[in-house]
Amino acid sequence: MKRLLILMVLVFLTSGALGAGRLESTRPGFASQQIAGLSSTPALLSEINPSPASLTASALESLLPKLSGRPANILARQLGKKMLGGKKLEGSTSPITGMDNIESADGYDWENEPSMAVNPQNPSIVVVFTHYYNATSGGSCQAIVSYDGGVSFDWIHDYVYPPVPSGGGCSDPVVRFSPDGSYAYYLYMDVDASGHSKIVLQRASGYNPTSLIGTPVTVFEHPDYFVDKPWVDVSYYDLANPGVVYVTATWFDASGFSYITFNVSANYGTTWGYAPNNPVAVAWITSSSLLVQGSRPIGVRLSGNGYLSICFYYSNADGIRNSTYSTPCVAHNSYGGVFGSGSWSPFFYPGGVHKYELSQWLGPSSTYHRWWGGMFPSLAVDEQGMVYVAYTADPNTNQGDIEAGNVYLARFFIDTLAGSTLPPVLVGSGTTAQGYPTVAARFDYATGKYMVFVGYGDYLTGNAKYNTVYRKALRAPSGSGIFNLPFGGKVKVSDRPSSSDIWFIGDYIDSALTGRTYHIVWTDRSDVPILDEDDDVLHDMFVP
């Protein structure tokens, strides 16, 4: 058998290193859990591939099947490609017949792939950050703010990104607040007209998120790498170090090798621990037939330490979108090393090996929109340090059928990694597809338990339409049932079913949970037929 050179710090923890329960009295460092012969510190990118080859047009074209949805679309157009993944690229072949939705932008432009956040110190301030583009103006992103807890949104003072057009397009928008509520962080990917990409962070006032502070700061950029699929998050519930910000992304070189990279700031994103062209690579693969993608970081403060976890999609050695896949995670016990201390865990696999990979397009027979991004994880963490990992997997080997995905939830404690070997919980299932999950969690003082909400797309007969739904679980804070997640029934969020799209509805939806309100945003297509490109973004909220 041909040996695959997988230079990836991906190893399995032994079952004895995890334990079955919660260790409240001791919080061991990760160094004791290292397996002999492996470094406990990820490498800088320059140490892995100090002289990458230039990204030619042919090299960029070869990356298209590995990129997230919107960047693949932008790059394909810039390369003059008319087909992407066996489908003709989107075009204005039908009239736009949208209607205004107060949580969307308008009925004449297209909005999808929404992220959202609620100010933790002032829950009346809610931000939604989305793709915002049309056939003539190209690709931008738009931030929209509510000052009444999500009841209404301020259209007069919305903001379009990038602030300085680069001739390319904004993609993969993410918004988060600092734990003290003083800053809002807008992270996005900027793809210029030459196919060059970078990841930038724009700060704004946490109490007036349309008031931008300074200019965008570049977090990741290198002339010989295509940088894709960013995410930003913070160390939750940490008012002692509220300025800590985490960012991850996927890097690709001219050989098609993939890298999960990490950067961290200790001062609200003003300066960063690593140079934009030389970040930390926490995972990498030197095989173009394999892939790591769709990473997300998340942090929480426990007993004076700032714990961080990063989880991502890994194709496994059987290849990309072929058979099985995994969602590896890695943890750090001191803010990702931004203060010069702490250590990394070896990689572990919450939920184990997932069967099976999603198809590139939603079935049956790849009829509908891009689907494989549903394998990228969504993360949440509660005040006790339990991390929840939501993802989609196909329950059978047939990638061409209607039963194209189920939603699962894995979990583990961020400091001890206990629980990561438990089987995942099946959250969304049926004879059709379920996918693109988002997870939110926090303590509920009314019940004395931890709330977990999982929202997702729930497809109807034939997958031609979908509803957005959520399910809620309560877990005990201690005792034998600490890992039990008994979910209640489905609650329908969307008022009307949406038509599936032929091409793209976004790679994710998002949610947030405060002490009083569960918020969720999604791509809505309830007012258009399948061939119409007018996506809207809707927001709704519920009393937990």
Using DSSP's 3-state secondary structure scheme, residue 335 falls into: helix
Residue 32 pLDDT > 80, yes or no? no
Residue 17 pLDDT > 90, yes or no? no
Q: Tell which phi-psi region holds residue 494, choosing left (phi > 0), alpha (psi between -120 and 50) or beta.
A: beta
For the chain, give the mean pLDDT: 86
What pLDDT, on a 0 to 100 scale, did the predictor assign at position 34? 36
Interval 451-457 mean pLDDT: 98
Of 162, 180, 184, nearest to 171 by C-alpha is 162
Q: How far is CA 472 from CA 163, 260, 369, in A?
A: 38, 31, 27
Tell me phi and psi for residue 160, to 5 degrees.
-105, 135
Residue 14 pLDDT > 90, yes or no? no
What pLDDT, on a 0 to 100 scale, did the predictor assign at position 109? 67
DSSP state of 10: -
What pLDDT, on a 0 to 100 scale, did the predictor assign at position 105? 39
Residue spans of beta strands (DSSP E) within 303-361: 305-314, 324-325, 329-332, 354-355
CA–chain centroid gap for 374, Å, is 10
Residue 107 pLDDT > 80, yes or no? no
Q: Which residue has the higher pLDDT, 182 or 161?
A: 182
- Rounded to 5°, angle at Cα 113 from 111 and 118: 100
Tell me the pairing of strands 226-236 and 292-302. parallel
Q: How far is CA 497 from CA 458, 460, 464, 523, in A?
A: 10, 8, 10, 11
Q: How far is CA 348 from CA 23, 43, 106, 537, in A?
A: 18, 18, 44, 35
Q: Which residue has the higher pLDDT, 49 or 494?
A: 494
Evaluate the CA torsion angle 486, 113, 190, 376 in order and state its sign: positive
Say which residues have a Cβ less than 8 Å from residue 104's Cβ, sequence separation at least 6.
111, 524, 536, 537, 538
Of 270, 367, 362, 356, nearest to 320 by C-alpha is 356
What pLDDT, on a 0 to 100 scale, did the predictor assign at position 98? 30
What pLDDT, on a 0 to 100 scale, did the predictor assign at position 77? 77
Interval 172-187 mean pLDDT: 98
For residue 5, which amino acid is it? L
Q: Please name the helix (run of DSSP H) or strand (run of DSSP E) that holds residue 458, with its range, or none.
A: strand 449-459
Say which residues have a Cβ less than 8 Å from residue 37's Cβ, sequence separation at least 6.
none
How far, in Å, CA of 416 to CA of 331, rounded? 10
Per residue in 258-309, pLDDT (tens digit) is 999 999 999 999 999 999 999 999 999 989 999 999 999 999 999 999 999 9
How large is the C-alpha radius of gyration of the chain? Answer: 21
Residue 106 pLDDT > 70, yes or no? no
Say which residues have a Cβ less than 8 Å from residue 466's Cβ, sequence separation at least 6.
433, 457, 458, 459, 460, 497, 498, 500
Residue spans of beta strands (DSSP E) within 39-149: 43-44, 83-84, 87-88, 115-118, 126-134, 138-146
Residue 7 pLDDT > 50, yes or no? no
How far, in Å, CA of 49 to CA of 46, rounded? 5
Of 266, 263, 342, 306, nearest to 31 by C-alpha is 342
Binned at pLDDT 50, 70 and 90, residue 166 comes out as low
Tell me phi and psi for residue 349, to 5 degrees.
-130, 80
Residue 126 pLDDT > 90, yes or no? yes
Say which residues have a Cβ less than 8 Å from residue 14's Cβ, sequence separation at least 6.
none
Per residue in 35-80, pLDDT (tens digit) is 333 345 689 998 888 888 999 999 998 998 899 888 888 888 788 8
Burial of 489 (0-12, 13-18, 19+ CB in 10 A): exposed
Tokens 């679980």 belong to 473
Interval 390-415 mean pLDDT: 96
What pLDDT, on a 0 to 100 scale, did the predictor assign at position 70? 82
Q: How far is CA 138 from CA 15, 104, 176, 237, in A?
A: 51, 18, 25, 38
Residue spans of beta strands (DSSP E) within 192-291: 197-205, 212-221, 226-236, 245-252, 258-265, 280-285
What pLDDT, on a 0 to 100 scale, did the predictor assign at position 22? 29
Dihedral angle of Cα 336, 340, 346, 349, to the nearest 10 degrees: -10
Q: How far is CA 187 from CA 40, 190, 343, in A?
A: 29, 10, 27
What pLDDT, on a 0 to 100 scale, did the predictor assign at position 497? 97
CB-CB contact of 389 with 329 (8 Å):
yes
- The first and second tokens of residue 250, run together, are 């996927």
Q: How far is CA 21 from CA 59, 254, 387, 483, in A?
A: 48, 45, 15, 9
How far, in Å, CA of 400 to CA of 466, rounded? 18
What pLDDT, on a 0 to 100 scale, did the predictor assign at position 140? 87
- The first and second tokens of residue 111, run together, are 């909005």
- Rounded to 5°, angle at Cα 334 from 301 and 422: 70
CB-CB contact of 49 with 257 (8 Å):
yes
Residue 518 pLDDT > 90, yes or no? yes
Residue 194 pLDDT > 90, yes or no? no
